[in-house]
């Protein structure tokens, strides 16, 4: 057996999470190999965040124009799907990862193409596209950044139906006449928004009673109304019991309420599963296919000697690209500190601890209207035993900037305050243009900024950000703890 090529750090997965681990480890002076079996840049760059937002941006721009008198009269044609697809293709580089490879080479990391698997402690074996084997060893750390894949339910006929996942939904080059979207999380609501505007007749099938169930309840209500007004047939309390498809014909869906539906494509947006089933976890005492439990430096807790780390979706802390990149920066710095003997700072808000995962996770869904939130919902805070004060503001009624942004502006903001210490535990916004409000809320929640200090963060008039002043006024005027509606 040949001697393995040795690096300080070996990273499995060259998506944005793996790339950030490599970048931070290289900044610490460590040698790095990064292994990728598909495209460097990963799921986010080619089949998720980037292409989905490229599809959605023209949709929201058109919706914004139609909400303003004088502009709406200039919008006389339907959206140009071919133009939208072309713009999307530009953003994904036509699924060519040359630019990403150049970036990896530019930071001084070594890209190894192929399927990487653990082969015992600190060892990785890579099967290359040509069938050869490359053996790697890590002096200090192996970092698993393999992400997740779409989770499909076990339903009769699902294989024959050839359902879409996020990948097919974001890389499609033509517009199906009819689409069923199964699931009402982030992928479901965003793709329903995009494809309805692109020209498909969309039916959304929601197992539960509402959309975006992990956010404040009013968010799902606003988004459902927006989808319905755009023409989406939103059906709650129903899902798919059985599927059928003959060749390239339509997909036949038998529904749990006894109904039937025929569509040209069906998109399942029903969750994610960890891409850990075939990466050699069994060689280090872990179960293939499991999520990986980590500490705040993203070191895998069930493996001795502290050499194995897991960042991003695989550790199940926060399945969001920006949170994975945040963890990656923490992890790369922590590996560098441990390798060089530098002080390791894992105190609250420390440089080597991913504490934001616990209390300050931001998320945005680019629906019409947009939905944005950070931190805890009112219900989550109360379930955690917090005594909270909840204040709501109807943005379109209270904020001049919102009225200028869109005629008949509809939206709501909520602030969840720790009633004992008077700092923010969470904030939620729904309405046109609210995505760009979120970072100010994230700073307030992550920094535990006292409400008394937020009065001195003066919002510009007339912008939608003036909602912060209205929220503070509502908090001041609220005499008692309020229950969420």
Q: Which of 187, 194, 193 is nearest to 234 (CA)?
A: 193
Q: How many residues does the chain have?
A: 485
Annotated ligand binding at 86? The verdict is no
Radius of gyration of the chain, Cα coordinates, nearest whole angstrom: 24
Annotated ligand binding at 271? The verdict is yes
Annotated ligand binding at 188? The verdict is yes
Q: Where are the alpha helices (DSSP H) in 179-320?
A: 186-198, 217-230
Annotated ligand binding at 431? The verdict is no
Annotated ligand binding at 41? The verdict is no
Instruction: Write out the DSSP string of 146-190.
Output: --EEEPPP--TTHHHH--B-HHHHHH--S--SEEEEE--SHHHHH
* Beta carbons within 10 angstroms of residue 233's beta carbon: 15
CB 321 within 8 A of CB 301: no
Annotated ligand binding at 184? The verdict is yes
Q: Is the peptide bond before 462 cis (omega within 30 degrees of 0)?
A: yes
């928004």: which residue's tokens? 193
Q: Round to whole Å and give the CA distance between 220 and 430.
A: 9
Centroid of chain to Cα 138:
30
Annotated ligand binding at 385? The verdict is no
Backbone dihedral angles phi then psi of residue 299, each to the nearest 5 degrees? -85, 130
Q: Round to whole Å and give the CA distance between 471 and 437.
A: 13
Annotated ligand binding at 226? The verdict is no
98 pairs with which residues across the strands?
none
Annotated ligand binding at 53? The verdict is yes
Q: Which of 472, 465, 480 is nearest to 451 (CA)?
A: 472
Annotated ligand binding at 231? The verdict is no
Q: Which residues of 113-132 are buried (b: 16+ CB within 10 A; e: fewer)?
A: bbbbbbbebbbbbbeeeeee
Number of continuous H segments (helices) and E segments (strands) in the chain: 17, 21
Which residues make up each annotated binding site for NAD(+)? 183-190, 271
Which residues make up each annotated binding site for FAD? 53, 116, 313
Which residues make up each annotated binding site? 53, 116, 183-190, 271, 313
């Amino acid at each position: 057996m040949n001697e393995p090529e040795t690096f300080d750090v070996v990273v499995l997965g060259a998506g944005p999470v793996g790339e950030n681990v490599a970048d931070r480890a290289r900044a610490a002076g460590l040698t790095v190999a990064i292994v990728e079996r598909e495209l460097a840049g990963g799921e986010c760059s080619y089949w998720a965040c980037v292409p989905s937002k490229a599809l959605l941006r023209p949709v929201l721009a058109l919706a914004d124009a139609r909400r303003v008198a004088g502009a709406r009269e200039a919008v006389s044609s339907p959206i140009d799907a071919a133009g939208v697809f072309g713009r999307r293709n530009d953003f994904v580089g036509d699924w060519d990862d040359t630019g990403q490879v150049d970036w990896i080479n530019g930071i001084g990391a070594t890209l190894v193409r192929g399927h990487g698997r653990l082969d015992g402690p600190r060892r990785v074996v890579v099967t290359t596209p040509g069938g050869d084997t490359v053996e790697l060893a890590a002096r200090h750390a192996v970092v698993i950044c393999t992400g997740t894949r779409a989770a499909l339910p076990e339903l009769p006929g699902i294989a024959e139906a050839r359902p879409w996942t996020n990948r097919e939904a974001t890389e499609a080059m033509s517009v199906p006449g009819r689409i069923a979207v199964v699931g009402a999380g982030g992928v479901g609501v965003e793709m329903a928004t995009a494809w309805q505007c692109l020209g498909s007749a969309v039916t959304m099938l929601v197992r539960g009673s509402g959309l975006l169930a992990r956010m404040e309840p009013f968010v799902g209500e606003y988004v459902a109304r927006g989808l319905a007004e755009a023409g989406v047939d939103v059906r709650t309390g129903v899902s798919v019991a059985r599927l059928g498809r003959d060749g390239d014909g339509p997909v036949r869906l038998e529904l749990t309420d006894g109904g039937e539906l025929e569509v040209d494509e069906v998109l399942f947006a029903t969750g994610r599963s960890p891409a850990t089933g075939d990466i050699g976890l069994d060689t280090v005492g872990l179960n293939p296919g499991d999520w990986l439990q980590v500490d705040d430096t993203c070191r895998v807790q069930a493996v001795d000697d502290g050499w194995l780390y897991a960042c991003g979706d695989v550790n199940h802390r926060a399945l969001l690209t920006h949170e994975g990149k945040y963890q990656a920066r923490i992890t790369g710095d922590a590996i560098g500190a441990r390798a060089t003997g530098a002080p390791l700072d894992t105190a609250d808000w420390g440089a080597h601890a991913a504490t934001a995962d616990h209390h300050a996770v931001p998320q945005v869904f680019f629906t019409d209207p947009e939905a944005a939130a950070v931190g805890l919902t009112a219900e989550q805070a109360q379930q955690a035993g917090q005594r909270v004060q909840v204040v709501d503001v109807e943005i379109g009624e209270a904020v001049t900037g919102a009225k200028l942004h869109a005629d008949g502006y509809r939206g709501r903001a909520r602030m969840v305050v720790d009633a004992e210490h008077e700092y923010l535990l969470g904030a939620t916004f729904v309405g046109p243009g609210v995505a760009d409000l979120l970072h100010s809320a994230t700073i307030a929640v992550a920094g535990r900024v006292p409400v008394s200090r937020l009065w001195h963060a003066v919002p510009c008039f007339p912008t939608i950000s003036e909602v912060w002043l209205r929220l503070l006024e509502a908090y001041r005027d609220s005499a008692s703890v309020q229950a969420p509606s």
